[in-house]
Structure 1
Amino acid sequence: MLNKLEMFIMVANEGHFGRAAESLGITQPTLSAGIKQLEEQLGVQLIFRGSRFGGLTPEGQRALVWARRIVGDARQLRDEMRFARHGLSGQLRLGVIPTALTWAATLAARFAQDHPNVRFTVLSRPSTQILSMLDNLEIDAGISYLDHEPMGRVSTEPLYEEDFVLVCAAGSPLAERASIPWAELADTRLCLLTPDMQNRRIVNENFAAANVTPTAVIESNSTVVLIQSVLSGAWHTILPTDIALFLAEGKPLSAVPLSGQVARHRVGLVAPYREPHTPMLATLLSEARRLANA
């Protein structure tokens, strides 16, 4: 039944039989047959469907909660047994907010160096999507904000507190400043992350506290697009210090600290709450703690 439950979870996550089948690496008829067999075993209809996916039935909604719990427990059992026989091995999937990708890369590299049989997949995702991906078993852990979104029942390990810099071309009049108040950016030509990104919402909070309404002519969910725009010489962007320094390194850019930040938000590792954690996640949380204290 376990593989049928995994099929059911994937269909619920994707909301589409074709995409679910593709994600699972099986044919759509095989997927449909698996769901039908699961419904027969449980004695209820799980999915409304005609020519296409029509959503979960009330019974399907309740079954989805159980399916995620059962599949999560089965994966934990598998990891425990694999650890007892082979040590840490397998795959870790991380969902990471775009501004924390440098931390994710460092964490993955340090972990993999000590545990060479573990493979990493690192995905750049918004903070709200990371939480839903954890619930849907699409990722094993995430790096996200710890104190700005409703977190639910998760384990967390803080990594750093976020502060901001203005990134500008080396020839900009602002490039030589020791620091710049947020209020002075009212008329600055800005390119910023898109409003759906939590980082942008925090930037907007700082502008609001300074009684400034910024005008972002260029918006993107990619920090690379923002930095390339600044390299043109006509734009400025605001990013957390770590990602800004990494992207600006070796380029004719300056990163100038912004003063008067209203609050610093913690960013850290987020993992599904389990007692005890699998050996893999327990070790990942421990490595995150070491990285934060380095």
Structure 2
Amino acid sequence: MLFRQLEYLVALSRERHFARAAQACHVSQPALSEAIRKLEDELDVPLVRRGRKYEGLTPEGERIVLRAQRILADRDALRAEVGALRSGLSGRLRIGAVPTASGAVAQLTGPFCAEHPLVTVEVAADLQSEDILRQLRDFELDAGITYLHRDLPESFLAVPLYRERYVLLTDAADSLAPGDSATWAEAARLSLCLLTGAMQGRRVLDEVFAEVGVRPAPRVETDSVAALFAHVRAGRWASVVPHTWLHVFGVPHGMRAVPMTEPDRTVPVGLVVAAREPGSVMARALVEVARRTDVAAVVDGLPEG
């Protein structure tokens, strides 16, 4: 059994298409198919349900993929450990973040890259919480920055970073905009642009609105925090955004940002990695940086508008 065969099987499970899996592995489709057939012969069990096109993995194939993912992850971890001992940590760190937290990612990647100059960082900043946990389980990410739920499975290790707070973002000339703070009930009466309902960040907002007995009716919904700022800048909309994003954009000229009150709601956000041994050397290094970095001290204060 070769690592290459396991890589091909994992790629086929991920891509769900022989041609795309072959392209991802930089081999021809016949070479990928033949390698998987040889793996089936060696294990003496069918792994792929074959028809006129790819129809999925067999139950045995699904179980073998889980084993293959761990074997390949352990191989990569071993290589990284040896490389780190020889010349320092090198390779690629893969981080996934929910959109509302992506503005705080640089607070970790900055010191991490300073400590590990041979490492490159890849950030996927538009993932949902569920996607981050799944990709951590499937060895597709080394770490995630997401909301910390009380029911986070024991298979994950969490490092709290800060508590997300919310501000009302409005056009400075909007006569309907509240004063130095805004209640959630007041915000619900404005023409709102909010995140889509499928996103955890929006579900958090809806829970707070429901708590005070109101239900906002946003005219515009998006999966991008940057798009929320763009719509408010257009002058017709208001939005409720995480305070951390003000440390990315500041309070743009012609706009106002005031804290949300009644209730004063915060939600914990943190770094999450898979709690497995030996685990990703990249993840361990990032956890060490996160434990020494006071992200909250940087993002808690509101910049001047």
Give the TM-score taking structure 2 as reference length: 0.90
The whole-number CA distance in structure 2 between the counterparts of 1:154 and 1:285 is: 12
Pairwise CA distance, 1:246: 2.3
Give the TM-score taking structure 1 as reference length: 0.93
Q: 1:165-195, CA deviations, whole angstroms, 9 ceiling, x for partnerless residues?
A: 1111121235561211111223210111111
2:301 corresponds to = none
2:56 corresponds to = 55
1:267 corresponds to = 269
The whole-number CA distance in structure 1 between the counterparts of 2:73 and 2:286 is: 17
The whole-number CA distance in structure 2 between the counterparts of 1:213 and 1:72 is: 45
Correspondence 1:75 to 2:110: no
Correspondence 1:281 to 2:283: yes
The whole-number CA distance in structure 1 between the counterparts of 2:174 and 2:30 is: 60
1:214 corresponds to = 216
Deviation above 6 Å: which 4+ runs of structure 1? none
Q: Which amino acid counterpart does residue 18 of structure 2 have in structure 1?
A: F
Distance 1:278 1:185, change over 3 A: closer
Deviates more, 1:165-174 or 1:121-130: 165-174
Deviates more, 1:174-183 or 1:121-130: 174-183
Pairwise CA distance, 1:280: 2.6
The whole-number CA distance in structure 2 between the counterparts of 1:248 and 1:33 is: 55
Correspondence 1:30 to 2:44: no
1:181 corresponds to = 183
Deviates more, 1:166-175 or 1:143-152: 143-152
Q: Is the contact made by 2:142 and 2:280 (CA closer than 8 Å) also made in structure 1?
A: no
Aligned length: 294
The whole-number CA distance in structure 2 between the counterparts of 1:152 and 1:252 is: 46
1:44 corresponds to = 45
Q: Which amino acid counterpart does residue 21 of structure 2 have in structure 1?
A: A
2:132 to 127, 130, 133: 130
Q: Which amino acid counterpart does residue 102 of structure 2 have in structure 1?
A: L
Q: Is the contact made by 1:92 and 1:118 (CA closer than 8 Å) also made in structure 2?
A: yes
The whole-number CA distance in structure 1 between the counterparts of 2:23 and 2:48 is: 19
The whole-number CA distance in structure 1 between the counterparts of 2:68 and 2:158 is: 24
Alignment of 1:84-163 (within 5 A): 84-124=85-125, 125-147=127-149, 150-151=152-153, 153-163=155-165
1:169 corresponds to = 171
Q: Is the contact made by 1:162 and 1:264 (CA closer than 8 Å) also made in structure 2?
A: yes
Q: 1:106-158, CA deviations, whole angstroms, 9 ceiling, x for partnerless residues?
A: 31122111211000000121111111111222111111111166445111111
Distance 1:41 1:70, change over 3 A: same
Q: Secondary structure at the match of 1:216?
A: coil
The whole-number CA distance in structure 2 between the counterparts of 1:148 and 1:160 is: 15
Q: Secondary structure at the match of 2:146?
A: strand
2:66 corresponds to = 65
Deviates more, 1:18-27 or 1:66-75: 18-27
Identical amino acids, percent of aligned pairs: 39
Distance 1:27 1:244, change over 3 A: farther
Q: Is the contact made by 2:156 and 2:275 (CA closer than 8 Å) also made in structure 1?
A: yes
Segments of 5+ residues of structure 1 without an aligned counterpart are none
Correspondence 1:20 to 2:44: no
Pairwise CA distance, 1:65: 2.0
Distance 1:203 1:272, change over 3 A: same
Distance 1:113 1:42, change over 3 A: same
The whole-number CA distance in structure 2 between the counterparts of 1:12 and 1:152 is: 26
Q: Secondary structure at the match of 2:293?
A: helix
